[in-house]
Structure 1
Amino acid sequence: MEEEKKRLEEILRFQGIEEAGAKSKKLFLYKGMLEDKRKWACLVSRGLASQYETVVADSVALAGQLENSTKMEVADFGAGGGLLGLVLAIVCPAWNVTLIEASSRKAAFLAEAAGELNLANVEIENARAESLVGKQEFDMVVSRAAGKLKELAPVAFALLKQGGRYVALKAAQVEDEIAEARAENIRGIEVLKAQYPLSHGVAGRASIVVIKKL
């Protein structure tokens, strides 16, 4: 238990996250909640649950590449069990994070987890992202392995303020997806390679795709 907390803390410190000790404890508690409710809400696969530290390292790598101490309105659409959005809310308390999830059970889990973790910067929207267009606007929209960029970017843009960014956590090889997106006239694409402490992976295991709403 203590060793796992230390490994989580190492991930946070590597990315320059402040108060890494306290935040790693919350990440550890969140893991327990995922394990308890995994089957009830179909939160994550058994394989993904066993790779919790790896998944957290990917999400925290995204935070490490962005202005993680700057106040922002952020949305995670297709939030699932919160492995991106809820992790970002824990490590970036300056961000107000809206978790958008169509599944009622998953949304209920997210609300319960946010409450138990005392995350005052989290809001839950039990809805499809498309239904929020015109009702809310965000500085940044994020997603994790939710679909192809050419399909997701237009939805993200509809939720973004002008000049806002859609940030997608993707697999290492994203060249084909980016080519497809550009063929759909989606511009302003930048690709960042996730960085990790040596004990948690190699640089470039995941790609962070940033697309600005021009």
Structure 2
Amino acid sequence: MRRWRTAWLMLAVASLIAVGAGGGAASASVRQRDDMDKDISTAVYVVNRYWATHWSQFFTGGYSRPGVFGGYQKGGRKPPFCGAKRLGYDNAWYCRDGDYLAWDIDLMEEGYSSGDAWVYLVIAHEWGHAVQRRLAGSLLLRTYELQADCLAGAALYGAAADGTLQFERGDLEEIEEAHRRLGDETSWTDVSDHGTAAQRISAFKRGARYGVSACLPR
């Protein structure tokens, strides 16, 4: 995905790490991590802006932005508490008790190796859970995780329609490849509670093509 210059100028100060000096493989690794952090910051911005702008088109009441704890990693920043327990590794989360998003940096890096579209999907999916928390029970589907994937597709493609995000050729293929490659290797891609890669991609595409209304009960 391509970050619009105007959006990035607003987000420059939000980058989660500083660019380090050095050369060779270490320098390349730092640059890749910095690029990923910029994409994560952009994803947070465009997804929040989409819901803030369009909330009243689909739902009653006002929109409120969830908090963003950000990334944590083994050997580094510890995961936050959600209720009485810390969040687990190899996953990304929306904590209902604290109304915030958090993610394992290793999960993001693993998916990012297939392309930058991965982090946009993860952020938009977890934001979808924040949206679900704000809805009446009658608007929720039993396939809770797939509904969040659908809302992710609606938000990202809606942001593209608004001009705050631009999809590049191959972005959807990057998402599909990351899903298939990771399979059951991470909690975030666990088939038992999130659905198969094919089901998740189908739900994402439905939201992308038909919008938020297609993600709600008929």
Q: TM-score, normalised by structure 1?
A: 0.31
- Structure with the bigger percentage of helix: 2
Q: Which has the higher contact order (CA 8 A, sep 6+)?
A: 2
Q: TM-score, normalised by structure 2?
A: 0.30
- Structure with the bigger percentage of strand: 1
